[in-house]
Amino acid sequence: MKKMKIVMLTLIVAVSVNIGQAQTVESIIEKAITALGGKQKLASLKDTYMEMNMDIMGMQMASKTWIIYNTAMRQEVDIQGQKIITYIDKEKGWNVNPMMGSATPQPLPEDAVKNAMSSFSPGRELTSYKDAGYTATLEGTEDVNGAAAYKIKLEKDSISQHIFIDQSTSYLVKTVIKSNMQGQEIEATTLLSDYKKTPDNFVFPYTTTISNPMMGEIKGTVTKLTVNGNLDVKDLQKTE
């Protein structure tokens, strides 16, 4: 009887810890959503158009990005007078890259399309992870750019990624995604900083730094941002 009581007590403690952790994760993510304006505000975000100055391996170039949330995105990067176009929607993606001798759309790998899907949701992974079937687990804290951040693992089947939420501001400040590209596991890290409010009180990071072994470091700084401009997906699908 005494042994059974100990087992029961252990189970109760384990369940309590798991429930407490789940509530903590939910609370952290909820605060991060609130920092971006809240669920209702994010639900009113339909599309964005963004111009950025980009630094890729010491080369300066300009980019334009159109996002129709939960639908599709398009990016154009101007490199020495040549335009690289990338288009992604929920089902497919393609790329036109004259620098690689391609003047017609070439399909993107399936993993690249899947990894871009978080951009389709207002609030990125914060608002989309449950709908995508991920569970969230708090794994402690970690230093991100000199500040303590909650480290949260998002996991579904054999797929996982980490997001980092600043403890003081509740902003999403880092993501780490592992994916398989042509049989090789690639880890891509994104740092998000310089959060600002638009005149309509939407909150966006104005500086993004992406790094992976294949591309090195890509830093982008927003120079122009238009919100809810009634974008048409047909315009995003144009190949030129």
Per-residue pLDDT of the chain (240 residues; tens, 9 = 90+): 444 343 333 333 333 334 344 448 989 999 999 999 998 999 999 999 999 999 988 888 999 999 999 899 999 998 878 899 999 998 899 999 887 777 789 998 887 787 777 678 888 778 878 877 888 999 999 999 899 999 999 887 767 789 999 999 999 999 998 766 666 677 889 999 999 999 999 999 999 998 876 667 889 999 999 999 999 999 999 988
> At the topology level of CATH, where does 2-236 sit?
outer membrane lipoprotein receptor (LolB), chain A (2.50.20)
> Which pLDDT score is estimated for 65?
95
C-alpha neighbours within 13 Å on the C-beta side of residue 217: 7
> Which pLDDT score is estimated for 132?
76
Please provide residue 180's backbone torsions phi and psi, each rounded to the nearest 5 degrees: -105, 115
- Convert the pLDDT of each residue in 46-58 to its tens digit: 999 999 999 988 8
- Convert the pLDDT of each residue in 133-152 to its tens digit: 888 999 999 999 899 999 99
> Which pLDDT score is estimated for 100?
77
Q: How far apart are CA 165 and CA 151, in angstroms?
A: 7
Q: Tell me the DSSP string of 50-64.
A: EEEEEEETTEEEEEE
Helix (H, G, I), strand (E, B) or coil at 14: helix
Residue 47 CB neighbour total at 10 angstroms? 21
Asked whether 69 and 46 are in contact (CB, 8 A), the reply is: yes
Asked whether 53 and 60 are in contact (CB, 8 A), the reply is: yes
Strand-strand pairing, 106-107 and 159-166: unpaired
**DSSP category for residue 5:** H
Q: Which residues contact 199 (CB under 8 A, 6 or more apart)?
A: none
How buried is 79 (Cβ within 10 angstroms: 0-12 exposed, 13-18 middle, 19+ buried)? middle
Domain boundary assignment for the chain: 2-236
> Which pLDDT score is estimated for 17?
37
